[in-house]
Amino acid sequence: MNSHSPPAAHGGERSFIRTLGNVDIFFLGFGSMIGFGWIVLSGDWLLAAGSLGAAVAFIIGGIIMAFVGLVYSELVSAMPLAGGEHNYLLRGLGPVAALLGSWGIIGGYLTVILFESVAVPRTALYLFPDLNQIPLWTIAGSEVHLTWALIGSGTALLLTLLNIRGIRLASLFQTSVMMFLVVIAVIMFISAFFGGDTSNMQPFFTGGAPGLIAVLVVVPFLFVGFDVIPQSAEEANVAPRQIGKLVVLSVIMAAAFYIGILILTSLAVPVSQIGGLDLATADAMSIMLGADFWGQLVVAAGLAGIVTTWNAFLIGASRLLWAMANSGMIPAWFAKMHPTNGTPVNAILFIGVASMIAPFFGEAMLVWAVDSGSPSIVITYLMVAIVFLVLRRREPDMERPMRVGGDRPGIGTIVGVLAVVSTAGMLSLYLPGMPAFLSWEAWIMFGVWWALGLVFAFRLPRGVKPGPNAEEDLLELIAARKNG
């Protein structure tokens, strides 16, 4: 079987429609990483580490993500199949690792989606101060209003219906909104270049190493998204090697965007004033340019970032759930494909319902989602980096259209080792006593999600060896267990 062709259907149909071009794929990855965090959290980053300190943290985080992106670029070119890392881990480490790695990244995707479903009404409140009507309840000190929550739930419904309609429509929406965001970003950068003051950037470094780490630990949550590209690989109408290149390009551009946002925000107002701002980047632009309109324009760009991230992760998570169901790891209900639109309809509905409920937990969900999702993301990145090295050693002759290091295998091995070391180091920051140790609410979300994943893992039949035929062997054992 050609390594670039999807295997025949086993657990469910493979009827994806190949419509995504280069621009679509790039904006899918880049847009998934540019959410709302750059408006909500930029002030905290600058206060924690200083203007240049925060930029350095993103440079370090960007380098780490670049190593991981390179690892993904080779693997997706070799196995351009829906579900991304699910396929890599299944081939390199076997079903249990594939289930746990897939479970981790789905958990990360879901927390981002929950974050965005709350960020939409949070943004709308900035534009419409009288939005809060009909109080419902208070959660973690945050009062929830019906009108506020319905904005998030309504957006969730619209995006769910859009994605059920098909990848072409969802991709067109993604590209159009991202073009709007890029135009606003260019206006922001030009305005800061001519209207900003470099003296506002002082102090350049604050908080020392703890301040740097405080910024660094949010990087996985902000950069997760380039891996959405591999999830939709069966819907890409470009060469496998090109898909790999677009993964790396999306990571580089996201790092450049975040660093640019930090610099322009610190140019606009003194760092000492940032702590009193609500949405730091938006408010800073209003102050620098002397009109509320500019802050509202930035918030509109942030709203565009919210929906593109949300849309991308809905695409990625639904394809990964479909791939797991197609391999018999989770209920077959998730493997149902829409007969005409070629979309995993039940997986999309599951995620859509969860995102409709999240706004009713109020703004507290913003913090809980960031804290609980980041370690799950890093766990999967670490596993993918490991499987990259495993497959390099076990299957050196596997066709890899996008081979890291080209004809010099030693370079690829170095990149793989650096990806393993850097992601393992980042994961250690979430351990007890470390700066990113989770709040108890986040631990509950993290623990419940992984407990459910372990239940599915224990249900898998044992004895399936890693390799190209792992999915077929697993499905045969599952069928035999049902019939026996």
365-378 pLDDT per residue, tens:
666 666 677 788 88
Strand partners, 139: 142
Backbone angles phi, psi at 57, to 5 degrees: -60, -40
Residue 300 CB-half CA count within 13 A: 16
What was the pLDDT predicted at 122?
81
Number of neighbours of residue 228 by Cβ within 10 angstroms: 29
Strand partners, 137: 144
H-helix segments, 50-94: 51-78, 85-92
CB 436 within 8 A of CB 86: no
Mean pLDDT of the chain: 82
Q: What is the rounded distance in angstroms from the CA atom of residue 434 to the CA atom of residue 449?
A: 22
What was the pLDDT predicted at 33?
83
Backbone angles phi, psi at 247, to 5 degrees: -60, -50
- The residue-averaged pLDDT of 468-482 equals 80
Residue 337 has pLDDT above 80, yes or no: yes
The architecture that CATH gives domain 24-483 is Up-down Bundle (1.20)
What was the pLDDT predicted at 433?
67
Reported as a single tens digit per residue, the pLDDT across 181-237 is: 888 888 888 888 888 888 888 888 887 777 787 787 777 667 777 878 887 777 777
Q: Which two tokens stand for residue 375?
A: 């370690």
